Amino acid sequence: MLKRIFKLFYIARKLSVSGAIDTINEIHKLPTTLNLFFNLISLGSNTKLLDYQKSPGEKLCVALQGMGTTFIKLGQFLATRPDIIGEELTKDLEKLQDKVPAFDLHDAKKILRKEIGENFYKNIMDISEPIAAASIAQVHLAKIKFENHEKQVAIKILRPDIEKLFNEELDALMLFAYIVENAFSKAKRLKLVEVVHLLREITNIEMDLRFEAAAANELFENTKNDVGFNVPKIYWNYTTKKILTLDKVDGISIREYQKLKEIGVDLKTLAENLIQFFLKQAVRDGFFHGDMHQGNLFVDNNGNIIPVDFGIMGRLDKNNRKFLAEILYGFIQRDYVKVAEVHFQAGLVPQNASKDEFAQALRSVGEPIFGQSIKDISGGNLLAQLFEITEKFNMATQPPLLLLQKTMVVVEGVARKLYPETNIWEVSRPVLENWLKNMKSPKSTFDTAVKTSSEIIKRIPDLPEFIDRADYALKLMAEGKLNLAIGTNKNLEVEQMKLKNFRNNIIISFFGIVIVFLLVF
Ligand SMILES: Nc1ncnc2c1ncn2[C@@H]1O[C@H](COP(=O)(O)OP(=O)(O)O)[C@@H](O)[C@H]1O
Ligand SMILES: [Mg+2]
């Protein structure tokens, strides 16, 4: 218990000294007692002088970065949840840099040998110095003997002891969140305990590279017939919880469009392909790469797109996919009544809401966007505004759809950098149309008869019209949470019970310890 309390104070002091508390105060005034506590606990330290030119969000980024892995991850997680911290702050947190110094090649080799055993280790040759290092893992290049061939591979290795450090800090952070949430009724709204809990669930997955390997494998299988999109192959004998080995990408970063042009890649086609592959994965497979920034995308000599980094993937169930394809397609057709209908049929809008008003709100999102010149239209922004509206109508946005929307903004950004005139709507239309057609009729013999999305909807057998609406809506909502953290609620309850017990134990000694630790620091 002492260790946990010590960590708790350590984290609280870290928060205060880094300037995070000051910036949080600028964004959202904390209760006076809490501020007093933080002032006390940072006594005797040189509080970092923050750049006052920066916005509070930017300052928070600097502070979190200075606090290390756990807090960088916390910031990155919050950046994906505008529903919790608001749109503006998420934009700033998205800029959080994940760059940290690499660990030694010698240590990397030791981990490798220990993880895969001497026999397989013997087959690895020419292990390079790290080519990239982030807060959770780093990447080396090497060669392996595989079925009598020599293969060039990339090996991702978890940082030593990262899991222990992370879990210790999270334990303390969890306790901290719990105390704050219980001591200050206003803080309840922020769902701090739930946020820390979700962060733990997500990061525990990221810290097991077998999950990433499995994700790469699933994406490989889903896209093996998509000409132009090549997922690297995983080498399972060289993959463990702490190690991921996959084909080395033979290509140029998608960031280097000058170079790509020089080798004869058509940037317009490349941009269009990128958008289409992403949409196909989302609506056809319901499984998409959720981190498609330029650093994770490569292009080979033939213009094939090769993604890496499968740590964040999005999963959309069939209903979510239908919903997504219908609303995007509805917007493309500028048929706001249909889009509204989709929401109502899915039971997503409270029954007492007016369909006409909802359609009007949708129009207020769609029309200004279509009033822009084609090159400014963005599907991701459209979805973002749609979610803002749906929130006003008291619908909870589901995390998987939020991840999709965020990724869509990123993908469109990458495509526009390649070819600024890319017409996202024209590029998206065939993918959505195709998918909707296949959905309603695998044989597709009477496709031409079906023109509107609501007709298509009526033909899909397991639609809410055929199921109990309330049940369906509940299911959708539940899945929103489930996708991010399967079985979370039960775990969360257990965690909260543990915290309650723990709090009862420490409450008596709490103030005494405050004084002791103040003296120690
Ligand atoms: N298979 C690969 N071939 C070549 N380079 C790779 C490969 N996998 C990763 N890299 C390089 O290492 C970097 C970091 O790997 P990544 O999987 O993106 O880790 P992180 O999760 O830390 O971002 C990538 O941006 C890329 O430059
Ligand atoms: Mg990456």
Please name the residue whose Cα sits nearest to atom 14 of ligand 1. Answer: 132
What pLDDT does 505 receive? 65
- In 3D space, the residue among 414, 215, 218 whose CA is nearest the CA of residue 299 turns out to be 414
> What are the residue ranges spanned by the domains of the chain?
1-97, 99-166+201-248, 313-484
Please work out whether the CB of residue 249 comes within 6 Å of at least one atom of ligand 1. Answer: yes
* Ligand 1 atom closest to the CA of 246, numbered from 1: 1
Ligand nearest to the CA of 311: 1
pLDDT at 511: 57
Question: In whole angstroms, what is the distance from residue 510 CA to residue 4 CA?
Answer: 12
Residue 455: is its pLDDT beyond 70? no
Record the tokens describing residue 54, joined without a space.
């920066």
- The arithmetic mean of pLDDT across residues 462-468, rounded, is 35
DSSP conformational letter for 7: H
Cβ within 8 Å of residue 272, ≥6 positions away: 415, 419, 422, 427
Span 307-318, pLDDT tens digits: 999 999 999 988
Amino acid 342: pLDDT:
84
Contact predicate 343/309, CB 8 Å: no
- Tell me the percentage of the chain whose pLDDT exceeds 70: 82
CB-CB contact of 163 with 207 (8 Å): yes
Q: Of 15-19, 319-323, 410-414, which range is least confident? A: 15-19
112-124 per-residue burial string, b: 16 or more CB within 10 A, e: under 16: beebbeeebeebb
pLDDT of residue 122: 94
Task: Let me know: does 241 contact 256? Beta carbons within 8 Å.
Answer: no
Q: What is the pLDDT of residues 60-109, one digit of tens each?
A: 888 888 888 888 888 888 887 777 777 788 888 888 877 788 999 999 99
156 lines ligand 1 (CB under 6 A): yes
Stated length of the chain: 521
Tell me: the pLDDT tens digits for 182-207?
877 766 666 788 888 888 888 888 89
Q: Is 234 in the pocket of ligand 1 (CB under 6 A)?
A: no
Q: Counting ligands in written order, which one lies closest to the CA of residue 300?
A: 1
In this predicted structure, the answer to whether residue 476 has a pLDDT above a threshold of 70 is: no
Looking at residue 294, the DSSP 8-state letter turns out to be G
Rounded mean pLDDT of 376-385? 81
CA nearest neighbour of 187 among 302, 356, 31:
31
Check whether 347 has a pLDDT greater than 80.
no
The CATH architecture of the domain made up of 99-166+201-248 is: 2-Layer Sandwich (3.30)
308, 312, 313, 414: residue to mutate for ligand 1 pocket, most atoms within 8 A of CB? 308
Task: Residue 325: count other Cβ atoms within 10 Å of its Cβ.
Answer: 26
Q: Is 291 a catalytic residue?
A: yes
Tell me how far the alpha carbon of residue 295 lies from the centroid of ligand 2, in angstroms: 6
Mean pLDDT for all residues in the chain: 81
DSSP labels for 259-277?
HHHHTT--HHHHHHHHHHH
Q: Which residues contact 263 (CB under 8 A, 6 or more apart)?
A: 252, 301
Q: Among all ligands shown, which has an atom nearest to the Cα of 253? A: 1
Q: Would you place residue 17 in the very low, low, confident or very high pLDDT band (cuts 50, 70, 90)?
A: confident
**Mean pLDDT of the 494-512 span:** 67
Catalytic one among 22, 226, 247, 291? Answer: 291
Amino acid of residue 81: R
**Cβ 137 under 6 angstroms from ligand 1:** yes
- Residue 397 CA to residue 481 CA, distance in Å, equals 10
Atom of ligand 1 nearest to the CA of 137: 22
Q: Answer yes or no: are the C-beta atoms of 241 and 190 closer than 8 Å.
A: no
- pLDDT confidence of residue 508: 59
Residue with tokens 């960088």: 72
Question: What does the pLDDT read at residue 480?
Answer: 40
CA distances 63 to 14, 20, 399, Å, are 9, 5, 26
CB 418 within 8 A of CB 271: yes
Helix (H) or strand (E) holding 247: strand 243-247
CA 38 to chain centroid, in Å, comes to 31
